[in-house]
Amino acid sequence: MWISDADATAAGRCLAQIAEKSNDIVDLFLEIRREIEFRGEEEGPGVVERSEQGFAVRLVREGRTYLSARDAFEPGALRSALRDVTRVVPSSAYRVPELSAARPLAQRDDDCRSFSARVRQALREMHAAFDFRSRVASHGRRVQIVGRRLVPAAQSEDFFSVTCSTPWGAFGTLTAVLDDACARFVARALLDRFRARDAEAVSGVSGAIVLAPAATAVLLHEAVAHALEADTLVMSGRPDAALGVKLGSDLLDILDSPSELPTGLRRETDDEGIPVLRRWLLQKGCVDQVLADRFHAGSSRQLLPGAGRRAGRHLAPAPRSSHLELLPGEQRLEELLEGAEGLYFSEISSGRLNPLTGELVVEFPHGRRFRSGNLAERVGRCALRGKASRILSAVEAVGDNSVFAGAGWCAKGGHRLPVWATCPHLRLAGLEVEV
Amino acid sequence: MEPSALLDRIARSLQPVGLESVEVYLKSGRSRRAALGSQGQLSSLHRETGWAVRASGAQSSFFCCGSGAPAPDGPWPNPAGPPLRLPGPRPVLDWRAPQHLRAPLCVEHEALEILEACGRELARELPSARLLQATLEDGESASLVVNSRGVEASWCQRNATLYLEAALGSHQVIEYSGEKSASAFHPTALARRIADRLLIRRDGSIAGRGRGTVLLAPPVAVRVLGGLLPLLMDAVGRRRGLGVDDSSIGSRCLTIVDDGRLPGGLFSAPVDGEGVPTRRKVLVDRGVIVSRLTSGSEGAATARELAGCVRRASFRDVPRVGPSHLFIEPDSERAAGVLLEEMVEGHYFLDPVDAGRFDLTNDRFEMTVAGFSVRSGTPTAAVSRARLSGTISQLLGGLDAVARDLTFFPLGGLLGSPSLRIVGLDVTAS
């Protein structure tokens, strides 16, 4: 095995021994991760490094999941974990392999160390200067899944996170590279907060709403991805009952495509070792597929696994999106901004979907009015509330320029996972924002 | 390797780069988790082993942690940012480890039975309600900290938490509680509390506008205490200029205490996460700020006596100042029922609907709550949503009575409060 030099074949044979029934799911999940964070703060250490490795054995049998997780590759650890999930001493004559400590992940901290200064430089180039606190981190992770028959290749995730806080609000993003373009993007977001610091909160404003790609990504993550996760759908019925349901405007063609992510983030298999799909979630606004892991896919032939993700070895997999893609439309930004008056939002600060009622709340930290194709005065914080299906049905135009944007952390169900998106601008009509 | 020998080796490896203050923290633990919910039935066992090293020179510092055992010779990250000041050794007061630390973890079927019992009892109390998610975690851990200034301390923890999420139609409530062990949870009592909360949400009306007396039950009162926490933290409070020391911030009924060795407390320990002895510390005495939560490194600046209030949730977390058992002191003479009977007109709020917004800088707060309207000491009608708002000064200054029903909730640390009766707040429709 790439990750710990153990004998994968022997591990697979051991797993096969404890799978008594044909539909038992049994796997070994090996994980190594490293995170280094630079903190530009008054208190506490200026650099924080976390490196971990460990594994978990999982057995799913007749709707019950048994999991045993360890924080170290110690002698006898795999044998002990196998015993935990089977709850008997295995009668196997096969040798249980020993897992050895993995090689540490390579350092990627130089870019992080200097990034805060690059954001300050970008701010100066925008003729602005104000103080902010930053946390810039490099995240590396390798996972390998051993099944009873297959040992897919180890998967990698390498990315950066940036969090900046100002007296006017915090801004955070994830990025595949910490380059000058990213520094300008962060600087622009901070500058927008600064310029909107005294803007009045708006309420009761109706008219067109235009969302920038980053805001579109968060809206779709909450209203489409979370709504179509099998563990969300099962709270109100059978997940496969959602297939074919009209969820939004005909203009919405949305898929989850982990294999289309940039290098360093791209996945071939999910966290259960199942090959990932270019999974159509919505086609012309109708549900085509839902996000399912092996557990939920076992309940219906119509559900396809391959979207199982786990934040770490101590958690069982759950269905989650990785990379949402909204296909571009035909409207240029200038055309989206045409009309008497409306509101333009470059970002969404938070979003929540109530899985029982379908009520969605997204909050905007600030925005701008637009009139006749031009951006006008700034507005303060406000929110959009309503049924997710009503908000998605209000989409009246999709921009022609799709960009990789709107990445962030999703923390549903205790899984803190990076999520990514490629989206164009979006125009909605007939909705009202409130405080 | 012995902890002191490990510290020596790590210190030797860091000396060449000028990092002479070194702290080593080791933690091991195991826990059983059982869950019922959208992922079916889950039973898991976790063995966690980890370490953390903090090191500092004259100019900069680092925090480094990992799973398993540390490699004493590194490699270590290059330090950056401000230096750290580690605490020195201090005498630990008499400490007898509580009995419950020796209790074994619950076994798989016990854990699942507790969760299933919660579902059964809820169905009996309120047949149309559904238990959406139930998670029980029962765990124990042993921690040890040594540092180059001579601190060497160890402590153990043992506790269980239960997370229940239930729905009645479109109404949803979450009940999160902590006990010393899994067997201490009472499914019937928990189910009744959840059923009451769901019925108030479903059947209650929206509150009308008014200003009068409110009685806040412990679940609501601890949210208020949580909102005030920045005021009680030394670093945050000083930075934001909140509440001058020795100034009055509330009524004489308000006494706030943090006690890291609270008898019977869930997080009670002889020392905190830096090895500093814990003790009872009064932060607000009859309405006057007399002290704040402060760490060893901040202590040098403020010259205050340390109270051992640095928390480490896991080996992954940078130690930070926080409460262990932070509570509003109860009045042992007065039952909550008496406070209610004395109310002529007002509201009795039992359930926080949201976490609330507490703007200490601009002296404003608001939170959404649910409960009952009260007239002549009797609850008259359920209120499903009401917005409680006002200034922080009104909130603390208007406190006219506290009850004896002190209850703790796991909200970061353990926050506790008895029922609080407050006058002069606005109650509006939410």
**pLDDT, tens digit, 9 for 90 and up, residues B210-228:** 778 999 999 999 999 999 8
Chain B residues touching chain A at CB-CB below 8 Å: 37-50, 54, 56, 60-69, 77-82, 84, 108, 132, 167, 170, 172, 235, 239, 297-298, 316, 318, 320
pLDDT of residue A100: 77
Q: Report the gap between the CA of A329 and the closest CA in chain B (Å).
A: 36
Residue of B nearest to A292 (CA): B39
Task: Read off the DSSP letter of residue A413.
Answer: G
Q: Report the gap between the CA of B333 and the closest CA in chain A (Å).
A: 42
Is the backbone peptide bond immediately before B75 cis, with ω within 30 degrees of 0?
A: yes
Q: Are residues B233 and B382 both part of a single domain?
A: yes
pLDDT of residue B62: 95
Task: Report chain B residues whose CB lies below 8 A from the CB of A49.
Answer: 62-65, 77
Which residues face A432 on adjacent strands?
A206
Determine whether A151 is exposed, middle or buried from the number of CB atoms within 10 Å of its CB (0-12, 13-18, 19+).
middle
* Secondary structure in 3-state letters for chain B: CCHHHHHHHHHHHHHHHCCCEEEEEEEEEEEEEEEEECCEEEEEEEEEEEEEEEEECCCCEEEEEEECCCCCCCCCCCCECCCCCCCCCCCCCCCCCCHHHHCCCCCHHHHHHHHHHHHHHHHHHCCCCEEEEEEEEEEEEEEEEEECCCCEEEEEEEEEEEEEEEEECCEEEEEEEEECCHHHCCHHHHHHHHHHHHHHHHHCEECCCEEEEEEECHHHHHHHHHHHHHHHEHHHHHHHCCCCCCCECCCCCCCEEEECCCCCCCCCCCECCCCCECCEEEEEECCEECCCECCHHHHHHHCCCCCCCEECCCCCCCCEECCCEEEECCCCCCCHHHHHHCCCEEEEEEEECCCCEEECCCCEEEEEEEEEEEECCEEEEEEEEEEEEECHHHHHHCEEEECCCCEEEEECEEEEECCEEEEEEEEECC
Closest by Cβ to A46, choosing from B39, B49, B82:
B82
Q: What is the C-alpha to C-alpha distance for residues A116 and A128, in angstroms, rounded to an integer? A: 15
Please identify, among B164, B181, B202, the residue that sits at the C-terminal boundary of a domain: B202
Where would I find the beta strands (DSSP E) of A94-218? 133-146, 155-166, 169-175, 205-211
Residue A89 pLDDT more than 70? no
Q: Are residues B343 and B308 both part of a single domain?
A: yes
Whether residues B77 and A49 touch (CB distance < 8 A) is answered with yes
A25-40 vs A133-146, strand pairing mode: antiparallel
Nearest to A277 by CA among A219, A323, A241: A323
Residue A164 pLDDT more than 80? yes
Substitution target in A38, A71, A85 with the highest count of B β-carbons within 10 Å is A71
Whether residues A231 and B39 touch (CB distance < 8 A) is answered with yes
Whether residues A64 and B61 touch (CB distance < 8 A) is answered with no
Structure tokens at A171: 């801004």
Residue A143 near residue A30, CB atoms below 8 Å: yes
Task: Report chain A residues whose CB lies below 8 A from the CB of B316.
Answer: 50, 52
Residue A49 pLDDT more than 90? yes
Task: Report chain B residues whose CB lies below 8 A from the CB of A71.
Answer: 47-50, 67-68
Residue A397 near residue A373, CB atoms below 8 Å: no
pLDDT of residue B300: 44
Q: Are residues B136 and B212 both part of a single domain?
A: no
- The residue segments making up the domain with residue B253 are 206-428
Q: Report the gap between the CA of A311 and the closest CA in chain B (Å).
A: 15
Q: Which residues have CB under 8 Å from B58's CB, separation 6+? A: B18, B83
Q: Which residues have CB under 8 Å from A169's CB, separation 6+? A: A193, A349, A365
Closest by Cβ to A65, choosing from B42, B79, B167:
B42
pLDDT of residue B236: 60
Residues A203-214 have pLDDT tens digits of 877 789 999 999
Please identify, among B168, B202, B236, the residue that sits at the C-terminal boundary of a domain: B202
Please identify, among B202, B218, B233, the residue that sits at the C-terminal boundary of a domain: B202
Tell which wins on pLDDT, A149 or A133.
A133
Q: Which residues have CB under 8 Å from B102's CB, separation 6+? A: none
Whether residues A67 and B320 touch (CB distance < 8 A) is answered with no
Domain total in chain B: 2
Q: Are residues B271 and B415 both part of a single domain?
A: yes
pLDDT of residue B301: 45
Which residues face B420 on adjacent strands?
B216, B402
pLDDT of residue B243: 57
Q: What is the CATH number of the domain that holds B71?
A: 3.30.2290.10
Whether residues A66 and B44 touch (CB distance < 8 A) is answered with yes
Residue A8 pLDDT more than 50? yes
Q: What is the C-alpha to C-alpha distance for residues B256 and B329, in angstroms, rounded to an integer? A: 6
pLDDT of residue A17: 85
Task: Report chain B residues whose CB lies below 8 A from the CB of A356.
Answer: 167, 170, 172
Whether residues B42 and A109 touch (CB distance < 8 A) is answered with no
Q: Are residues B117 and B244 both part of a single domain?
A: no
Q: Are residues B240 and B125 both part of a single domain?
A: no
pLDDT of residue A151: 83
Residues A219-255 have pLDDT tens digits of 999 999 999 999 999 988 899 999 999 999 999 999 9
| Cα distances (Å, whole numbers) of residue A152 to A3, A28, A94, A147, A317 | 12, 12, 22, 8, 17
Nearest to A46 by CA among B161, B81, B414, B162: B81
Whether residues A49 and B62 touch (CB distance < 8 A) is answered with yes
Q: How confident is the model at residue A215 (pLDDT cuts 50, 70, 90)?
A: very high
Q: Which residues have CB under 8 Å from A51's CB, separation 6+? A: A32, A33, A34, A35, A104, A105, B65, B66, B67
Residues of chain B with pLDDT under 50: 300-301, 303
Q: What is the C-alpha to C-alpha distance for residues B31 and A71, in angstroms, rounded to an integer? A: 13
Tell which wins on pLDDT, A109 or B316.
B316
Whether residues A65 and B40 touch (CB distance < 8 A) is answered with yes
Q: Are residues B198 and B86 both part of a single domain?
A: yes
Structure tokens at A370: 């637009």
Q: Are residues B39 and B152 both part of a single domain?
A: yes
Q: Are residues B162 and B178 both part of a single domain?
A: yes
Count of residues in chain A = 435
Q: Are residues B197 and B227 both part of a single domain?
A: no
Whether residues A52 and B67 touch (CB distance < 8 A) is answered with yes
Phi-psi region of B18 (alpha: psi -120 to 50; beta: other; left: phi over 0): left
Task: Report chain B residues whose CB lies below 8 A from the CB of A72.
Answer: 49, 67-69
Whether residues B66 and A45 touch (CB distance < 8 A) is answered with no
Identify the weakest region by mean pLDDT among A6-10, A84-88, A369-373, B149-153: A6-10
Which residues face B330 on adjacent strands?
none
Q: Are residues B149 and B16 both part of a single domain?
A: yes
ipTM of this model? Answer: 0.90
Q: Are residues B97 and B222 both part of a single domain?
A: no
Residues B277-333 have pLDDT tens digits of 999 999 999 999 888 888 766 554 454 566 788 999 899 999 988 999 999 999 999
